[in-house]
Structure 1
């Protein structure tokens, strides 16, 4: 029997990382005994890491189960025709206690050919940053494959990379083929295509407990680079209250900034599911049949079949995402 759909919450999938820290526990209240948690996968359909529902009568079912049962009612007609029983987005929180590796991601064509996967276009919203914390995005000068490879060989890669100091609210759009890394001291929300394909090009000569360096992917990476990219990765956006302020619109997702200080009625005209990521404060979301509460560090999925819902808060800052 098919139950009526409602706003759905999922159990976070926590990932220990060599560079992870304590902020996902301490700031975002992820209840875990793990140390060095680098990532919390909030909504995931990555093979082997499928999200599990934690609320309502669908509790215990996986995102994959929901897709197979509800199809377009969950995704929207257009999305279901495009993606079938595959959820197109992966939502994460990331805590970098140490610098992440310098890396990039392949486009759809390359990822499909090599890994039977989507590419990995993504965006970052900085939720908290320690003093002088930075992100690496792009190069600080015109770049060619030859010049890049020479710096890679000479271990002088950091001389040609662009470092940006960041603060809460800073937002970056990371297209495929763009070199990047999250710096130590940054806690952020990440919205990306459903893909776990990353090409590491430099890992700061780090070694694990056994003295092994992590694998690099320079042979794969060189073909994935786009050396022609403009420096258009910083996202400017409005912060008008109680309305959706568009931040990023690309073929893979549209994300808006929504600060709620009242009660607002949302009408879904997009033929898509919506995801709300709470980056500050807390809020109530109400539909005809259900209501759910989310607070900072939580995410919720509104199925495409829910046409109207109400968001109420005095202090919530949300990222609103649809495809």
Structure 2
């Protein structure tokens, strides 16, 4: 199923790169920096904001819940029920994002009433010409009191300066484990895979959010700061999560085994053979045809599609280059 842009309002600027990919007039450019593609996840505290609506007026979430094995396959449905267990976004950072992190599954279950935390990964698809900046993980081990003081004082200089500054270019990927503090720099455009929640602990809330409460989601910083990874991330550790994954192969695994229990992503090209799976497709370049057991689908640059597991195996013809986003790896 072809999907139009789905851009819930956000607190930060962006959207131009999403429109440039999708085509003029096909996306918001005013504070629409996130396109939630094939989303069955709502924004934090909202009833429907963030959900994808199908052409027939039904929420994709409700369609999947109604026929989970059709959409997700038997093994996935047995493990996760009617939840795809993945959220895909196009994210266009029109300005630097604040320093923040996300809770783990265990922390979210204990403190936030959520089955999922929010491990995520970034597939870099656009940056300024000389590369884009992202900030990932503290350079040194930090005490609980140090981080708490920075947050209380909203010491942006200290928080940002304590993180590792990393230059990324198109073709790079970054796996971001839960708890890892990070900030995405202005001009970085990504396909982002996440666990299906909108749980963010915003350490740097001043000048970004309306209130301090938005930073700790109403739970209090005394609670949520316990989810922050305060350990040192040296170059050896960073090399495990930041890598270059460019390849001319028909199918390239972009995120590797460490991410597979959370989500998976492939760069696919003409000649690819694809297994049956619920999947969300983001076409980055060219055009081509996805040939499934149920018929052929023409795909052009900027298109986004959701495919049910029941579509079966598929092949890719043409000059298409796309990102195929997949749920966690599950076997019976």
TM-score, normalisation: structure 2: 0.82
How many angstroms does 1:32 deviate by?
4.1
Aligned ranges for residues 279-294 of structure 1 at < 5 Å?
279-294=284-299
Matched with 1:5 is: none
Question: Which SS does the other structure have where 2:33 is aligned?
Answer: strand
Matched with 2:113 is: 116
Structure 1, unaligned stretches of length 5 or more? Answer: 1-7
Find the partner of 1:224 among 227, 246, 251: 227
Answer yes or no: is 1:27 the counterpart of 2:21. Answer: yes
Answer yes or no: is 1:274 the counterpart of 2:272. Answer: no
For residues 278 and 237 of structure 1, do their structure 2 counterparts lie closer, same or farther at Cα, with a shift above 3 Å needed? same
Q: In terms of mean alpha carbon deviation, does 9-18 or 79-88 score higher?
A: 9-18
For residues 246 and 18 of structure 1, do their structure 2 counterparts lie closer, same or farther at Cα, with a shift above 3 Å needed? closer
Structure 2, unaligned stretches of length 5 or more? Answer: 43-47
For residues 207 and 66 of structure 1, do their structure 2 counterparts lie closer, same or farther at Cα, with a shift above 3 Å needed? closer
Matched length: 303
Find the partner of 1:91 among 88, 102, 109: 88
Question: Which SS does the other structure have where 1:252 is aligned?
Answer: coil
How many angstroms does 1:182 deviate by?
1.1
CA distance in 2 between partners of 1:200 and 1:277 (Å): 28
Find the partner of 2:181 among 163, 179, 182: 179
Find the partner of 2:64 among 57, 62, 67: 67
Aligned ranges for residues 122-133 of structure 1 at < 5 Å?
122-130=120-128, 131-133=130-132
For residues 60 and 106 of structure 1, do their structure 2 counterparts lie closer, same or farther at Cα, with a shift above 3 Å needed? same
Answer yes or no: is 1:9 the counterpart of 2:9. Answer: no
Question: Which SS does the other structure have where 2:309 is aligned?
Answer: coil
CA distance in 2 between partners of 1:93 and 1:18 (Å): 16
CA distance in 2 between partners of 1:310 and 1:132 (Å): 33
Matched with 2:41 is: 46
Question: Which SS does the other structure have where 1:37 is aligned?
Answer: coil
How many angstroms does 1:151 deviate by?
4.5
CA distance in 2 between partners of 1:295 and 1:124 (Å): 22
CA distance in 1 between partners of 2:52 and 2:152 (Å): 41
Matched with 2:79 is: 82
Cα offsets for 1:212-242 (capped at 9, x unmatched):
5563223343111123464332134351421
CA distance in 2 between partners of 1:20 and 1:293 (Å): 32
CA distance in 2 between partners of 1:280 and 1:20 (Å): 25
For residues 236 and 24 of structure 1, do their structure 2 counterparts lie closer, same or farther at Cα, with a shift above 3 Å needed? closer
Question: Which SS does the other structure have where 1:50 is aligned?
Answer: coil
Find the partner of 1:252 among 250, 255, 262: 262
In terms of fraction of residues, the more strand-rich structure is 1
Q: In terms of mean alpha carbon deviation, does 222-231 or 112-121 score higher?
A: 222-231
TM-score, normalisation: structure 1: 0.84
Matched with 2:203 is: 201
Question: Which SS does the other structure have where 1:94 is aligned?
Answer: strand
Aligned ranges for residues 161-176 of structure 1 at < 5 Å?
161-176=163-178
CA distance in 2 between partners of 1:293 and 1:116 (Å): 41
